[in-house]
Amino acid sequence: MDNGNSLGRGIVMILVAGFSLGMAHNWVGLASRPPRGIPWKASSASLPQLESEAPPDRVPRAPQPQPVAADPVSPPPKPTPERSPTPHATATPASPATKSPQATPTKPVTEPATPPSQATEPASTPAAPPVAGSAARLPYVPDMDRPLETKIATVKRFFDAGGALFLDARDASEYEAGHIPGALRLTQSDALSEPEKLKTLPVAGRPIIAYCEGGECEASRELAQALLDSGFRKVLVYTGGFPEWAAAGYPVERGHGGK
């Protein structure tokens, strides 16, 4: 009987010692640089960022007028000399035999000046086409098989230009308390259980920006992955989430909104 108890205590001691050694070894590994141990807290893999993955902004530019080079062969046109006014009548000198009253010289007749109202105006130059506005200055979102993270500055640019579809991945109560104006509420479970609902999303060729509470909230990532699995290829995750948006003083919509 005592032998059985001793054997049991020995096994327990061995397990405790092994566990302690394993914890100490992992702690030393995490403290090394680079860390080699297993993190104590599970963390999701970081996503690539749109700001580093995408090429520079594609901005359609208005055509610029090109300077016209002078023709080196053709000489410049010579100025046309002005014509002197031709008198309509010439005074005839008096005959030496016959004296006649002195002839009054005739004043040259000049053509009347053109009235100001009939003056020829130079042809108006057509206005240059306007330079593309802020709606065109949006980052290019490549087709990806995984979501891309994006920051608040880029999100605000898409919002101002109406260049993205915003999806709120939070609970209904959080959504109604406040969300980005125009955002639709859609969770991962909705995307998986109601695939037909995804076909009605008003994407219209725009990228999708999913967000939730930011920080450690994984709802937006899960929704983004579900969208990619359903065939969407331009899906972004706003890592700051709604709290960061509201704290920045940007517009907030309450109630059902665009749901």
Q: What is the pLDDT of residues 175-189, one digit of tens each?
A: 999 999 999 999 999
Query: Is residue 229 in some structural domain?
Result: yes
pLDDT of residue 132: 38
Query: Is residue 25 in some structural domain?
Result: yes
Residue 185 near residue 175 (C-beta atoms within 8 A):
yes
User: Sorting pLDDT into bands at 50, 70 and 90, what band is 117?
Assistant: very low
- Core vs surface per residue 103-141: b (16+ CB within 10 A) or e: eeeeeeeeeeeeeeeeeeeeeeeeeeeeeeeeeeebbeb
User: Sorting pLDDT into bands at 50, 70 and 90, what band is 213?
Assistant: very high
Active site residue 212: yes
Query: Is residue 89 in some structural domain?
Result: no
Residue 145 near residue 238 (C-beta atoms within 8 A):
no
Q: Select from 193, 192, 170 the least CA-distant residue to 259.
A: 170
* pLDDT above 90 for 251: yes
User: Sorting pLDDT into bands at 50, 70 and 90, what band is 203?
Assistant: very high
Q: Is the pTM of this model over 0.85?
A: no
pLDDT of residue 177: 97
Domain that residue 237 falls in: 135-247
Query: Is residue 198 in some structural domain?
Result: yes
* pLDDT above 90 for 71: no
Query: Is residue 150 in some structural domain?
Result: yes
Query: Is residue 64 in some structural domain?
Result: no
Number of domains the chain contains: 2
| Residue at token pair 């914890």 | 23
Whichever domain contains 191, its CATH number is: 3.40.250.10
pLDDT of residue 127: 38
* pLDDT above 50 for 130: no
Query: Is residue 189 in some structural domain?
Result: yes
* pLDDT above 70 for 170: yes
Query: Is residue 212 in some structural domain?
Result: yes
Catalytic residue among 54, 210, 212, 237: 212
- Structural domain ending residue among the three candidates 25, 40, 55: 40
Q: Select from 46, 26, 109 the least CA-distant residue to 237.
A: 46
pLDDT of residue 49: 84
**Percentage of the residues of the chain whose pLDDT score is greater than 70:** 57
The mean pLDDT value for 66-82 works out to: 55
